[in-house]
Structure 1
Amino acid sequence: MKKLLISWNKLGLVKQIVIGLLVGVVLALTIPDIASPISILGTLFVGVLKAIAPILVLFLVISSIAQHQKNKKTNMKSIIVLYLVGTFSAAVIAVMASFLFPVSLDLVDSPEGFVAPEGIVDVLQTILLSIVDNPIKAVTEANFIGILAWAILFGIAFRRAGDSTKALLQDTSNVMLKVVEWIIRFAPVGILGLVFESISANGLGSLLTYGKLLALLLGCMFIVALVVNPLFVFSFTRKNPYPLVLTCLRESGITAFFTRSSAANIPVNLKLSEKLGLNKDTYSIAIPLGATINMAGAAVTITVLTLATVHSLDIQVNLLTALLLSFIATISACGASGVSGGSLLLIPLAASLFGIPSDIAMQVVGIGFIIGVVQDSAETALNSSTDVMFTAAAEAREKRLAGH
């Protein structure tokens, strides 16, 4: 048994995850009736990650800002620009693809039980209210926008504290990271449960009905991941971008694909940033921030599904309106929560730009949840892997300009 465990640990996390994936598929196809005992493994894994993520983000950001010295450079301006421009570019790609390959949907009955924002003012108001949320409530309800806001304030205040207090904050952050490291070791088992649950419940052919829409979504995300993002990385690093791009997709994207939560994947991204040798003062802030506002995948989802609704209703769209949609999709994506399905409830907001009633837009939200088994997974993989990629690119640019 000891030799087996040693051999297992030597495989590395990515290979272990692939094995967990394959075992999950096999079990789902052979013994789908034994759902509860196996699928609970995935539920527990994601639940533990989501439970620790808010506390982890809070202490990491507080500690990083408290320890930061004025003469240290963090490249945060470049990273934020990359986050926002990258999200907007993804929306533009989605607009272009939707016009080249228009998809129409069968819209009949409106699903019930969904609550979505009715206008851009509602989204901005939600964001502002999230920022001023009670800090304890923000942590307990995983309000990452509020957590970041309070963590930044506390971090700035703690810069005036003594060295012993700062050391305590640093030790607390290290303890949190160690706990997360232990949890991540169970990722293959958790992913086994997640894959088993998805396939046993929906079947391998459950997505064929909406295959064209799903293909358009995935095609846009692949273009962003393998063409657009590498161009951004190259413009910053002036080097072949694909080693970094593929590393981020492999090390971060795979786990994000199965956990379907940018927030839950924060610990994985922090570990990858450390592995890449990035500046801790930068990535400890940039990674949690990216899980909140770096949402290229969400922008693609919002744009594609909105334009599918537009094409279904034979609404004519001009270039100006399409660009406005890209802008709204960018803002909406930044306001999307870092959890599974967070972007879908913002589709009615984008649809309102074309005067589409909420009840019709909600039908598209329902379709989004149907294809969400793959769509939301791919969206999260793109979102989360890009956080590390852009952080690394910004740091490489800084070093290049400094002549190192």
Structure 2
Amino acid sequence: MEQAHEKPTPKGLWGGLALWKKILVGMILGVIAGSLLGPDAEILKPIGTLFINAIKMLIVPLVFCSLVVGVTSMQDTRKMGRIGAKAIVIYLSTTAVAISIGLGLSTILAPGAGLEMTATAAASEAKEAPTLVQTLLSLIPNNPISALATGNILQIIVFALGLGVALNLCGEKGKPAVQVFESLAEAMYKLTELVMKLAPYGIFGLMAWVAGKYGLEILLPLFKVIAVAYIGSLLHVLLFYPAVIKVFGRLNPMPYIKGIATPAAVAFTTTSSSGTLPASIKCAREELGVSKGVSSFVLPLGATINMDGTALYQGVAALFVAQAFGINLEFADYVAIVMTATLASIGTAGVPGAGLIMLSLVLTTVGLPMEGLAIVAGIDRILDMARTTVNVCGDLMVAVLVGRSEDELDTEVYHRSTEKTTLTASEDIA
């Protein structure tokens, strides 16, 4: 009789936790360790660096193989064009909404009011943002092998799309090559799964370093601008995205909110949309039910052109600089900021620090002092965490919407997390 009440042997407290919970524990312990060690937390940074390097190792082969497989799985080239058009329109639309949220919150909360900013030479260190013409010209790689070697995501996407279409047009002769790419893609998904098991430890090292380097005494003077950026990010992810899924996708947004936990945690600590791609693709397929074809096509595209979080940050930072220098912006300036940040997002890479490049372009467009860039750069890493998380969550939202519109969303998989929660609650009551 006693054996009937015995519970299955647990995996252990740590082994039984979901990955996102392990990542959360790693983040919290990292912050505690960094606060205690201070600048000495630098010794823990190599742990995070190893994890980042492992993620970077995956990016190029994963993006390339996934895109080729995604395109070859769509035998209808018109369908591929339709999916691409839908994704781009949604990405640009949500980017415009994001920067409007940032401008609105900054107008109301005035994060730069009363803060004296001094000119500094660091402002001149900002890289020049690429023009639209330069971005278009750089789409086609002169040497695709060089693009793969240097990790030029835009060029890799164009080459992978072209190769995928060509393999489809080859018919039977192209099938052996397609099978090779499918095998390579599956191998990359498995390698991604293995690397992600190291995420809690790598994130512990990264957060310890960040907490040790940026103490509260440094953050307090600029806490208001950080708070505005984080409030805007939370509103965009927890209110705007679920509303879009509810209204346009006609889906319960709760599975989406639960499903994005792991990639959001990875994005928050790695501050790289491209670096989070492995976790995003895994989440889209296994947690949200998006088909391989759609996820392999939409997510790499989003990591390159979807910059909702970065655009929101542009609105906050631009008004912060204007308010700090006592400069009044006209309605036309607000419109210029929205349009500039939205269009610039297409040519901004999904890598850490890319937001500063966009910000330099926005400040120049509306005639704001570039000196403000140096002050914002001091807290850029903290802001980068929030904006990258928004970018990644936006990628997954668009993947769900496009999958739904193309009837390539497994609703059983999508609703599975909610059903599990309901079942567990019923068992607890029983």
- The normalised TM-score by structure 1 is 0.89
How many angstroms apart in 2 are the aligned matches of 1:270 and 1:244?
14
Q: CA deviation at 1:33?
A: 6.2
CA apart distance, 1:379: 0.6
Report if the CA contact (8 A) 2:277-2:303 is conserved: yes
Where in structure 2 are the equivalents of 1:129-278 lying within 5 Å?
Answer: 129-133=137-141, 134-159=143-168, 160=170, 161-248=173-260, 250-275=261-286, 276-278=288-290
Amino acid in structure 1 at the alignment position of 2:276: N
Counterpart of 1:126 in structure 2: which amino acid? Q
Q: Where does the alignment leave 5 or more consecutive residues of structure 1 unmatched?
A: none
Deviation at 1:7, TM superposition (A): 4.8
Which amino acid in structure 2 is aligned with residue 41 of structure 1?
I
Shift of 1:265: 0.2
CA drift at 1:383: 0.4
Q: What is the CA-CA distance between 1:43 and the residue it aligns to?
A: 0.8
SS at match of 1:109: coil
Query: TM-score under structure 2 normalisation?
Result: 0.84
**Counterparts of 1:52 and 1:247, CA distance in 2:** 22
| C-alpha separation in 2, matches of 1:400 and 1:68 | 12
Tell me how far 1:353 sits from its aligned partner: 2.2
Q: Within 2, Cα distance between the matches of 1:35 and 1:314?
A: 38
Deviations 1:119-163 (A, max 9, x none): xxx421332243123322322222211111111111112221432
Q: Give, as a single letter, the amino acid of the residue that structure 1 aligns with 2:354.
A: G
Distance 2:52 2:372 in 1: 27
Distance 1:26 1:301 in 2: 27
The percent of aligned pairs where both chains have the same amino acid is 27
User: Given residue 91 of structure 2, which amino acid in structure 1 is its aligned partner?
Assistant: Y
Matched, 1:23 2:35: no
Alignment RMSD (CA, Å)? 2.5
Q: Does the 8 Å CA contact 1:245/1:389 hold for their aligned counterparts?
A: no
Q: Secondary structure at the match of 2:164?
A: helix
Separation of aligned partners in 2, 1:111 and 1:212: 24
Distance 1:71 1:152, change over 3 A: closer
Aligned mates of 2:395, 2:204 — CA distance in 1: 25
CA distance in 2, matches of 1:351, 1:33: 33
Which amino acid in structure 2 is aligned with residue 199 of structure 1? A
The alpha carbon displacement at 1:394 in A equals 2.6
What is the CA–CA distance in structure 2 between the aligned matches of 1:33 and 1:322, rounded to whole Å?
40
Give the match for residue 120 of structure 2: 110
1:343 is paired with a residue of what secondary structure?
Answer: helix
Shift of 1:167: 0.5
Mark the structure with the bigger radius of gyration. 2
Shift in Å, 1:8: 3.0
Distance in 1 separating the partners of 2:239 and 2:357 = 28
- 8 Å CA contact retained: 1:236, 1:396: no
Give the whole-Å Cα distance in 1 for the aligned partners of 2:296 and 2:161: 12
Q: Hey, which bits of structure 1, 4+ residues long, moved more than 4 A?
A: 3-7, 71-74
Q: 1:130 to 1:6 in 2, by over 3 A?
A: farther
Looking at structure 1, the residues matched to 220 and 362 of structure 2 have their Cα atoms a distance apart, in angstroms, of 26
Deviation by residue 1:218-250 (Cα, 9 ceiling, x = unmatched): 1221221122222221222223323313432x1
Contact 1:54 1:142 survives alignment (8 Å)? yes
Mapped partners of 2:206, 2:10: distance in 1: 24
Aligned to 2:15, what secondary structure does the other structure show? helix
CA distance in 2, matches of 1:348, 1:83: 22
TM-aligned CA deviation for residue 210 of structure 1? 0.3
Taking the TM superposition and a 5 Å limit, the aligned residue runs for 1:1-150 are 7-32=13-38, 34-70=40-76, 73=79, 75-104=83-112, 105-112=115-122, 114-117=125-128, 122-133=130-141, 134-150=143-159
CA contact (8 A) 1:265 1:384 kept: yes
Select which of 263, 286, 304 maps to 2:316: 304
Q: Which amino acid aligns with 2:71?
A: I
- What is the DSSP-based 3-state SS (H/G/I as helix, E as strand, rest coil) of the residue aligned with 2:264? helix
Distance 1:376 1:33, change over 3 A: closer
> More displaced, 342-351 or 390-399?
390-399
Distance in structure 2 (CA, Å) of the matches to 1:400 and 1:255 = 26
Q: Which amino acid aligns with 2:17?
A: L
- Structure 2 vs 1, CA of residues 167 and 239 (structure 1 numbering), >3 Å: closer, same or farther? closer
Question: C-alpha separation between the residues in 2 aligned to 1:41 and 1:318?
Answer: 48
Change (3 A) 1:150 1:108: same
2:349, 2:174 → 1: CA distance?
35
Instruction: Report the alpha carbon displacement of residue 389 of structure 1 after superposing the two structures with TM.
Output: 1.7
Q: What is the distance in 1 between the residues matched to 2:314 and 2:216?
A: 25
Aligned mates of 1:312, 1:71 — CA distance in 2: 51
The farther-off stretch of 237-246 and 282-291 is: 237-246
C-alpha distance in 1, partners of 2:258/2:199?
Answer: 20
More off after superposition, 377-386 vs 91-100: 91-100
Give the 3 Å change call, closer, same or farther, for CA 46–65 of structure 1 in structure 2: same
The residue identity in structure 2 corresponding to 1:365 is: L
Residue 369 (structure 1) shift: 2.5
Once the two structures are TM-superposed, the CA of residue 202 in structure 1 deviates from its matched residue by 1.9
In the alignment, does 2:405 pair up with 1:393? Answer: no
- Per-residue deviation, residues 246-302 of structure 1 (Å, max 9, x unmatched): 432x12211110111000000001100111221111110101011011111010112
Alpha-carbon deviation of 1:72?
Answer: 9.2
1:30 deviates by 3.4
Aligned residue for 2:103, secondary structure, equals helix
Distance (whole Å) between structure 1 residues aligned to residue 319 and residue 44 of structure 2: 39
